[in-house]
């Protein structure tokens, strides 16, 4: 199985040679039926031949156009936290992709840690999940996590993230690229957010914005960065990022886009002595932990993402302390207009229900 980084090296064209070229050609053939299926599906929803269900409160969808990590979870947290600060009873709804037997997955655990006062309902039937949080928690607003391609639940605001490392999925639908659907689908977006915008200079960000505007000319444009804030461990302890200074650090992750995590580490001058990748949403087994313990023996500190940390039970790998990087989202542009849209949604909902 290809690692996320290896897959991107191939589909991006950065890896050259006969075998890589042949594999791209094969993936191109497989792309056609997937693209066709997505186009047919979107056509059915666009023309209302497939049922779309509306619930009684505003639904704010946060999703992406590409596979892998674009920073959805930090934005979901930001929206939920903002609405809580406004006195709104907000709840989060998600599919629960690759959930454990107890019904939770890594995103649920991470959100529970960050937002203990915000209900989170996971269900493959997201219409039923939305109805459940309204009934059980009297939710006044719902944030639909990873909802852009989920069309059954009507939404009042569609927010789509484009990751600066691959904003348009290498121009191909999976498996030839990383697009979840053809780029024309971006036309459904009300808000387009360029995540990890600091990875691009202003001119390059402008080019991405112009390209996005070809598909969604009326969408609000925002730019955000994911800044490292502190280190945390499974005991809930924290320490400053300066604790990494001069340390031999072994880094591992099981996320969709490891390049974003690498960028975060470089931003804090962390140069790992070893790096290991697992598939996105990886469930760490006892064998994995034993292997990581052996692998990290020469390090003074082991580091992972918070998404990985919540699935691990110990604060060490053998004798090596295990820490995760807490990441905070910060807006470079578009924050006030987005807040205004969120305020209008909930205000209109409150007025219509009163």
DSSP for 72-131 reads: HHHHHHHHHHHHHHTT--EEEEE--TT--TTS--HHHHHHHHH-TTS-EEE-S-HHHHHH
Average pLDDT over residues 284-306: 93
Q: Helices 4-11 & 258-267, crossing angle to 10 degrees? A: 100
Question: Tell me, what's the pLDDT at 352?
Answer: 61
pLDDT band at 310 (very low <50, low <70, confident <90, very high): confident
Question: Tell me, what's the pLDDT at 190?
Answer: 98
Average pLDDT over residues 176-205: 95
Q: How far apart are CA 94 and CA 275, in angstroms?
A: 30
Element of type H or E holding 341: helix 335-353
How far from 206 is each of 159, 183, 213, 329, CA to CA, in Å? Answer: 19, 18, 10, 20
pLDDT band at 68 (very low <50, low <70, confident <90, very high): confident
pLDDT band at 317 (very low <50, low <70, confident <90, very high): very high
Judge whether 296 and 274 are in contact, CB under 8 Å.
yes
Global pTM reads 0.85
Question: Tell me, what's the pLDDT at 14?
Answer: 93
- Average pLDDT in the chain: 90
Question: Tell me, what's the pLDDT at 104?
Answer: 64
Question: Tell me, what's the pLDDT at 33?
Answer: 93
Q: How far apart are CA 52 and CA 158, in angstroms?
A: 15
SS3 call for 20: helix
Judge whether 164 and 200 are in contact, CB under 8 Å.
yes
Q: How far apart are CA 258 and CA 277, in angstroms?
A: 8
Average pLDDT over residues 70-90: 93
Question: Tell me, what's the pLDDT at 280?
Answer: 84
Judge whether 65 and 181 are in contact, CB under 8 Å.
yes
Q: How far apart are CA 253 and CA 261, in angstroms?
A: 8
pLDDT in tens, 36-59: 999 999 999 998 878 899 999 999
Residue 341 has pLDDT above 60, yes or no: yes
- In the chain, % helix, strand, coil (3-state, to 5) comes to 40, 25, 35
Domain positions in the chain = 59-226+330-353, 227-328
Looking at 168-182, 226-240, 340-354, which range is the least confident one?
340-354
Judge whether 94 and 150 are in contact, CB under 8 Å.
no
pLDDT band at 103 (very low <50, low <70, confident <90, very high): low
Q: How far apart are CA 257 and CA 68, in angstroms?
A: 5
Q: Is the dihedral of CA 194, 198, 200, 206 positive or negative?
A: positive
Question: Tell me, what's the pLDDT at 97?
Answer: 65
Residue 353 has pLDDT above 80, yes or no: no
Query: Which of 3.40.50.300, 3.20.20.70, 3.40.605.10, 3.30.70.20 is the CATH number of 59-226+330-353?
Result: 3.40.50.300
Share of the chain above pLDDT 70, in %: 95
Residue 82 has pLDDT above 60, yes or no: yes
How far from 178 is each of 214, 252, 301, 317, CA to CA, in Å? Answer: 20, 22, 33, 33
Looking at 68-82, 95-109, 123-137, 147-161, which range is the least confident one?
95-109
Q: How far apart are CA 285 and CA 153, in angstroms?
A: 35
Question: Tell me, what's the pLDDT at 301?
Answer: 94
DSSP track, 24-76: HHHHHHHHHHHHHHHHHHHHHHHTTSS--B--SS-EEEEEESBSS-SSHHHHH
Using omega within 30 degrees of 0 as the cis cutoff, is the peptide bond preceding 198 cis?
no
Q: How far apart are CA 168 and CA 178, in angstroms?
A: 8
Question: Tell me, what's the pLDDT at 121?
Answer: 94
Question: Tell me, what's the pLDDT at 267?
Answer: 78
Question: Tell me, what's the pLDDT at 350?
Answer: 67
Residue 120 has pLDDT above 80, yes or no: yes
| Integer Rg of the chain from CA | 21
Residue 188 has pLDDT above 90, yes or no: yes
- Of 286 and 114, the one with more pLDDT: 286
HSE of 66, CA atoms in CB hemisphere, 13 A:
26
Average pLDDT over residues 226-244: 90
Residue with tokens 């053809």, as numbered in its chain: 182
Question: Tell me, what's the pLDDT at 99?
Answer: 54
Query: Apex CA 213: angle with CA 208 and CA 217, to 5°?
Result: 160
Q: How far apart are CA 6 and CA 277, in angstroms?
A: 10
pLDDT band at 184 (very low <50, low <70, confident <90, very high): very high
């Amino acid at each position: 199985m290809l690692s996320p980084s290896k897959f991107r090296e191939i589909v991006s064209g950065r890896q050259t040679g006969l075998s890589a070229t042949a594999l791209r050609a094969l993936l191109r053939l497989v792309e056609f039926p997937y693209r066709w299926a997505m186009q047919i599906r979107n056509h059915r929803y666009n023309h209302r031949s497939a049922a779309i269900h509306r619930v009684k409160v505003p639904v704010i969808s946060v999703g992406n156009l590409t596979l892998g990590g674009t920073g959805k979870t930090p934005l979901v947290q930001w929206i939920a936290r903002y609405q809580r600060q406004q006195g709104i009873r907000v709840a989060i709804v998600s599919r629960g992709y690759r959930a454990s037997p107890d019904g939770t997955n890594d995103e649920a655990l991470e959100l529970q840690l960050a937002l203990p006062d915000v209900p989170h309902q996971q269900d493959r039937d997201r219409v039923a999940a939305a109805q459940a949080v309204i009934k059980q928690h009297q939710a006044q607003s719902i944030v639909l996590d990873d909802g852009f391609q989920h069309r059954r639940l009507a939404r009042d605001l569609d927010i789509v993230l484009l990751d600066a490392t691959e904003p348009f999925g290498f121009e191909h639908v999976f498996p030839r690229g990383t697009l979840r659907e053809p780029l024309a689908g971006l036309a459904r977006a009300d808000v387009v957010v360029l995540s990890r915008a600091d990875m691009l200079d202003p001119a390059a960000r402008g080019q991405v914005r112009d390209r996005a505007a070809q598909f969604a000319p009326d969408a609000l444009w925002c730019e955000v960065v994911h800044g490292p804030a502190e280190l945390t461990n499974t005991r809930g302890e924290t320490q400053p990022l300066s604790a990494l200074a001069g340390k031999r650090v072994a880094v591992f992750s099981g996320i969709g886009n490891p390049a974003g995590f690498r960028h975060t580490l470089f931003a804090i001058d962390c140069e790992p002595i070893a790096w290991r990748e697992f598939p996105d949403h990886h469930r760490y087994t006892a064998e994995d932990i034993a292997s990581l313990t052996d692998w990290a023996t020469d390090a003074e500190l082991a580091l992972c993402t918070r998404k990985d940390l919540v699935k691990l039970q110990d604060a060490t790998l053998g004798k090596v302390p295990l820490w995760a990087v807490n990441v905070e989202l910060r807006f470079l542009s578009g924050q006030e207009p987005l807040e205004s849209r969120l305020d209008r949604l909930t205000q209109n909902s409150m007025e219509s229900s009163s």
